[in-house]
Structure 1
């Protein structure tokens, strides 16, 4: 089994803090109990930059703090948040971060890096969140039709999720050029093992 590294754990904690900070950037919608939030952007970034294990751990740290009563979900906390209307989305995030990270760890950096990251982030970071999120939203709020549930929990959020996927992919593509995911995973090889940046020409 792969060992956990101090570097990875520190980055997980840092990304948990980023996720908490981004949770305060939200817009409430008059027709839904689900707000537009940038927390999903943090989940995408965690998976893409930290990889599967550390990305999922960052999200689990936030969920654990929430369960313990800390107000880290946009100023809210406690078990009530984890059984509320948005719980389906929240509990999908660790799996989302893990899946994004799983594919990020296997992406070969080339001229299509951005496109591959975009596909992984939008499919797993956005579309995969909706089944559980919308399903629990409908159940917990008593929505009695699929059309109403999709209106309250999916359709208004797709454009924003696509934008967040684009932003995340652009940021990660740039980050990887100077700090590839292999360094987080302690898989330094070649020039990186000597502390050199292989992208810099001599």
Structure 2
């Protein structure tokens, strides 16, 4: 197996995947959570290469305990950010993958997607910062008749502080500081803000 095909195993390996494709951005970003940061991980860009997406999905699955994986019936992810990584994780697990949408503000299944009653769900996200989207998606699965038994993600920006109410298995945690709207450092505040995420 060549170096390019190696499954990422460390935080540095994962960060290299982002750097190699220009997906680690620097500037002033307003995150989907509403917090501000000088760094942004553009997961859509890191996942645009199917081979890279496959490597990262395999790495995510490798970090989840076997006793959890053995229970999974189906993979669910929240749109938009979770769709690609969720699909790739489902492919690795040889399970169906579906996604939640919220065109009116509340997550639910559309497009003919439906969960079997009591289905054991693995939730897949791209990035977790505060855990708000994840908790909303987990609640939506319960409303749809399933049960989220665990969540996994490419990146945990909360460094373990996000409480999702279920076991959480991120591939990597990055210590990029984030700031409340009213507590932005002067150096960051002097840079024009952009909002690269998908949530309005």
Task: Confirm or deny a common fold (TM above 0.5).
Answer: no
**Over alpha carbons, which structure has the higher Rg?**
1
Question: Structure 1 length as normaliser, TM-score?
Answer: 0.29
The answer to which structure has the higher strand fraction is 2
The answer to which structure has the higher helix fraction is 1
